[in-house]
Amino acid sequence: MIQKKLEIVYKPFDKATRVPPGTTLFSAAHWIGLPIDSTCGGRGTCGKCKVQVLEGGAEVTTADRKQLRAVELEGGWRLSCQAKVYQDTTVTVPELLRVPKAATMGVNRLVLLDPNVRKVFVELSEPSLEDQRSDLERLRDALTAEGFDMKADLRHLRTLPVVLRDAGFKVTAVLGGDQLIAVEPGDQREASYGVAVDLGTTTVVGTLMNLKTGMAEAVRSTLNGQAPFGADVISRISHGMQGDEAKAELRDTVLRTINTILSELYESASVSRDRVYEMVIVGNATMLHLLLGIDATPISMMPFTPAFADPLYLRALDVGIDIHPGGYVQTLPVIGAYVGADIVAGVMATGLAREDKMRVFVDVGTNGEIVLGSVKRVLCTAAPAGPAFEGSQIRCGMRATEGAIEGVTLSDHVELQVIGGDIVPRGICGSGLVDTVAQLRLAGLLDVGGKMRSREEVPEHPLSDRLITVDGVRAFLLAENVYLTQRDVRELQFGKGSIATGIKVLMDVMGVSAADLDEVLLGGSFGSYLNPESAKIIGLVPAVDLDRILSVGNTAGEGAKMALLSFRERQVAFELPDKVEYVELSGRSDFNDSFVSVLQFPELEVVR
């Protein structure tokens, strides 16, 4: 059942939004791009996010009583980060006392730079017979005066007495939210870094971010070291089923991959790991389970239940991540067993759930994740597309590495685009596969059902000599020893059919048609290189005008960076699972009919 949404109006801006009951006034404002001042990360300790409730109501909280005067409470003033709405509400927002820094990230998203990591310089009064507060209390009182809560543990107590006295009680406290990460001598506010990691099944990408400027200092990517244990998540889970040693092997392998990337980032940017305080990591549910050494077996079998779905904030030392020893690792939430934190990050980066446009976002891969909607309603699902898009189970298929054909154009001759430039082709990667099939359709060498023509059927065609037979199977020769077979075409049809079915089911549930779609967004590492025209020709995406099909790049990595640089965006991510409705395809009676209806290729006049 869909919750009735409530209207919130913000004066004097006359901006309005509709949100589910229980949303805070602070979060709702950020969803529509209205910045409300805050320095504590929305924890109710700085007192700067106050608004005046004019109509509606918000209960007085403990934080309100602590931060606001009695006369303010009587006048309807509340801390917006604590004020949850349960009826239509109108509020007044004071003018910002400061102009927050911002950066453009994701898909043209303006992100306010308010990282969860804060560095606070304090000059503490030294102990005396008249002031015998403990070192910890002294530091906590100073931070409270600045509007920050602080939680410390035994590690900090062991070093705090020496650090304070060696620094003359002038120190910089490093906070991750309200968790004390470090106490550094002197004023160290300028050196603050974090890392955003996209933990893909195939590729891992890490970006070292300057938390003060919002700029990327270095980027590195490499193959996931778990690749030898299987190309897809089910293969990885199967390996882990062999016992505790196998699970440890999977965890150790991916940790080595991430820590190697970190080492390269530090060297490239000349940044010490002791100035890197936080990591935001996104990936599908299986990858996050394997990273943390958690049994992922239940994800692989009905009813597909992960061990956790909520965001986790974990000590880097406990995870095994090589950032500051007191630092933390933040994961984003997952929506379902097969719609993971990487898709949550993608929805953040595209702004799909926060704008009026009706859009469909597709992350094309072995598991195709699909999100459809706008600020009014959002649906998502996962479609098992198989490994064809990754170049696997294709006769001459390969990963998108040097020597792979990534683009194809057919006219009276064959033009190939090969990764690595002017080198001998060694195989076909996913984008090359889609291009080849699309071009064969345009050239009249592949019919609407996906059947490849034989040389005898089209003797006059300028490319008829490229139509060959390999082990009794029809094929099209792209280059010496590199060809596309009829079976390859069928593999692609089943893969694209699964994703197209997922899109169709979501559109049917939403009650929209292709004409209602403002944009089709192709994300993920594969989607970034996919030719939009080819995607339309093979029927992977709905039949919309080409200028409405956009490649949006690595949205998972962009969303991770946004969550690293802004606690506001992080909160948006935390709230997304409550705003997105998951549609399970395997339980739908209309799945098979929808699949059959999209299995063949569209008529070319429809494409054009």
| Predicted confidence band of residue 19 (pLDDT cuts 50, 70, 90) | confident
Higher pLDDT, 397 or 328: 328
- pLDDT of 172 strictly over 60: yes
Q: What are 285's two structure tokens?
A: 């549910």
Q: What is the mean pLDDT of residues 218-246?
A: 88
Q: What is the mean pLDDT of residues 350-375?
A: 90
Contacts of 582 by beta carbon, 8 Å cutoff, 6+ apart: 335, 336, 339, 379, 380, 381
Q: What is the mean pLDDT of residues 63-74?
A: 88
- pLDDT of 277 strictly over 90: yes
Contacts of 91 by beta carbon, 8 Å cutoff, 6+ apart: 8, 9, 10, 11, 25, 51, 52, 53, 54, 56, 80
What is the full DSSP assignment across 478-502? EETTEEEEHHHHHHHHHHHHHHHHH
Q: What is the mean pLDDT of residues 78-94?
A: 89
Contact status, residue 246 vs residue 240, Cβ threshold 8 Å = yes
The reported pLDDT for the residue numbered 152 is 93
Q: What is the mean pLDDT of residues 249-278?
A: 96
| Mean pLDDT of all residues belonging to the chain | 89
The reported pLDDT for the residue numbered 608 is 47
- pLDDT of 99 strictly over 70: no
How do the residues of the chain divide into helix, strand and coil, expressed in percent and rounded to 5?
Answer: 35, 25, 40
Identify the structural domains of the chain with CATH numbers, from first to last: 6-97 (3.10.20.30), 117-185 (3.10.20.880), 193-331 (3.30.420.480), 351-387+492-607 (3.30.420), 388-480 (no CATH)
Distance CA 252, CA 254 (A): 6
Detail the DSSP E strand segments found in 365-443. 367-373, 378-384, 404-410, 414-418, 427-428
| Predicted confidence band of residue 16 (pLDDT cuts 50, 70, 90) | confident
Contacts of 102 by beta carbon, 8 Å cutoff, 6+ apart: 110, 111, 112, 113, 214
Distance CA 400, CA 58 (A): 54
| Predicted confidence band of residue 387 (pLDDT cuts 50, 70, 90) | low
The tens digit of pLDDT for each residue in 158-169 reads 999 999 999 999
Alpha-carbon separation of residue 43 from 25, 40, 314, 332 (angstroms): 13, 6, 18, 18
CA nearest neighbour of 384 among 519, 263, 500? 500
- pLDDT of 524 strictly over 80: no
- pLDDT of 276 strictly over 80: yes
The tens digit of pLDDT for each residue in 393-421 reads 789 988 888 999 999 999 999 999 999 98
Contact status, residue 61 vs residue 82, Cβ threshold 8 Å = yes
- pLDDT of 236 strictly over 60: yes
